[in-house]
């Protein structure tokens, strides 16, 4: 079995050199598996009968046994070599005529023999027109030789039987070859069409996939740039140009975020004391420097999740998530101390002190605003507390107490200096 597989692979490899048809491998397998064994069997029987001097029976078997090998020539040879060998077929006809008695209708045997040796071989490679040409040429070449061929021991009625057998074998082989080739031809045509369509479809799919990938990549890059630009614009729209802190828009968005609901948070309002006098005395450019310096100082004292925003003029707001009012009041005091300790010799004049007033309100001390949409009430509490701090002398932190506006815990920390 292993040897047979090797022979099949070798034959297919040799056949693929001269035959491009898609079904050629199937043709080679059919020829090797079915036709060659039949031919070998006929050859063996013919030789045995010939050894037993049964000439009238052995010669047809020998011819039949030779046919599969001659018919297989186009399967294993290149086109040019096959064409060259085909012209030797008339010689093969002449040689086989030695077994005939020329007095008994050799024409029938010639036609049958040509069918066997030529028709099967040529129809294997779809050259039926060349078969007709070869048949005619072979007949013309062989006919003058007939009178010169010696007679053999095959005489009498045996020649008629021999000619009839040859004719039947030739016609049968021809018809079988035609039928087989018609099936394979249709199969080849379908396979060729399918192969061409598959190749075209594969190329189209590859081109489409490449174009889709390129377009997808372009769209992804555009979307990435757009998202990045949108994020940058959104960030810029929520930043204060002067100080770099968040603005009122970001503060309001955070206060109204549903994530802030049901959480304890506090709000710290900061206002720079006597800022108008600084602008009037030193100019707005110096006033901007003061705002930036105070904003930077406040930023160093807040957490990453806290929202520190400049909400207008010299006013700042600090939102402290998850922070009670008492904790926010202590932070407000630290903010006030840090600003009061800043040196202003370069921006203003030596010994000048800038202070802030701080108002604090926490949702834990004002149940009406905890976890609700009443963020404006918390902002109002903190803002009111800051103005109480200013009215109480500035430079101090005040925490709002109670549920009603106007009730505050006034905690003066240090006397105002200006």
Active site residues: 314
Residues 170 and 22: their CA atoms lie apart, in Å, by 28
Residues 99 and 159: their CA atoms lie apart, in Å, by 9
CB atoms within 10 A of CB 380: 17
Q: Which two tokens stand for residue 338?
A: 């840090």
* SS3 per residue for 349-403: CCCCCCCEEEEEEECCCCHHHCCCCCHHHHHHHHHHHHHHHHHCCCCCEEEECCC
Sheet holding 307-312, edge to edge: 307-312, 315-321, 265-272, 356-362, 397-400, 408-409
Residues 373 and 375: their CA atoms lie apart, in Å, by 6
Q: Which helix (H) or strand (E) holds 57?
A: helix 55-71
Sign, CA dihedral 7-12-18-23, equals: positive
Q: 337, 283 in Cβ contact below 8 A?
A: no
Residues 190 and 196: their CA atoms lie apart, in Å, by 10
Residues 6+ apart with CB under 8 A from 84: none
| Closest by CA position to 341, among listed 243, 414, 390, 268 | 414
Give backbone dihedrals phi and psi of 186, rounded to 5 degrees, phi first.
Answer: -65, -40
Q: 336, 272 in Cβ contact below 8 A?
A: no
Residues 342 and 364: their CA atoms lie apart, in Å, by 32
Q: Which two tokens stand for residue 96?
A: 């086989």
Q: 396, 412 in Cβ contact below 8 A?
A: yes
Sign, CA dihedral 147-149-152-154, equals: negative
Residues 145 and 321: their CA atoms lie apart, in Å, by 118
Residues 7 and 65: their CA atoms lie apart, in Å, by 20
Alpha helix (H) ranges present in 143-156?
Answer: none
């Amino acid at each position: 079995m292993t040897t047979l597989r090797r022979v099949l692979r070798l034959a297919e490899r040799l056949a693929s050199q001269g035959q491009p048809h898609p079904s050629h491998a199937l043709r080679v397998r059919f020829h090797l598996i079915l036709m060659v064994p039949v031919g070998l069997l006929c050859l063996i029987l013919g030789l045995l009968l010939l050894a037993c001097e049964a000439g009238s029976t052995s010669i047809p078997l020998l011819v039949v046994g030779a046919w599969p090998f001659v018919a297989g020539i186009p399967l294993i040879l290149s086109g040019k070599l096959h064409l060259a060998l085909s012209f030797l077929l008339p010689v093969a006809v002449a040689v086989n005529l030695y077994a005939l008695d020329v007095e008994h209708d050799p024409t029938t045997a010639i036609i049958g023999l040509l069918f066997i040796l030529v028709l099967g071989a040529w129809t294997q490679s779809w050259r039926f027109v060349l078969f007709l040409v070869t048949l005619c040429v072979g007949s013309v070449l062989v006919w003058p030789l007939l009178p010169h061929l010696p007679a053999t021991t095959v005489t009498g009625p045996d020649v008629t039987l021999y000619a009839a057998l040859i004719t039947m074998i030739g016609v049968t082989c021809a018809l079988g070859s035609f039928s087989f080739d018609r099936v394979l031809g249709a199969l080849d045509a379908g396979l060729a069409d399918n192969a061409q369509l598959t190749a075209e479809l594969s190329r189209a799919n590859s081109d489409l996939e490449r174009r889709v990938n390129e377009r997808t990549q372009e769209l992804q890059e555009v979307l990435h740039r757009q998202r990045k630009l949108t994020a940058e614009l959104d960030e810029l729209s929520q930043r204060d140009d002067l100080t770099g802190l968040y603005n009122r828009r970001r503060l309001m968005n955070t206060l109204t975020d549903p994530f802030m609901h049901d959480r304890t948070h506090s709000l710290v309002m900061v206002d720079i004391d006597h800022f108008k006098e600084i602008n009037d005395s030193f100019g707005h450019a110096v006033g901007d420097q003061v705002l930036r310096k105070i904003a930077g100082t406040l930023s160093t004292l807040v957490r990453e999740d806290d929202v520190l925003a400049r909400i207008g003029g010299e006013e700042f707001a600090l939102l402290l998530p998850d922070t009670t009012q008492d904790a926010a009041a202590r932070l407000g005091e630290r903010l006030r101390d840090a600003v009061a300790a800043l040196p202003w010799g370069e921006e203003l004049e030596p010994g000048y002190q800038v202070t802030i007033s701080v108002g604090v309100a926490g949702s834990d001390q004002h149940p009406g605003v905890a976890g609700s949409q009443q963020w404006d009430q918390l902002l109002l509490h903190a803002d009111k507390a800051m103005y109480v701090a200013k009215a109480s002398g500035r430079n101090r932190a005040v925490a709002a107490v109670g549920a009603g506006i106007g009730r505050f815990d006034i905690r003066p920390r240090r006397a105002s200096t200006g």
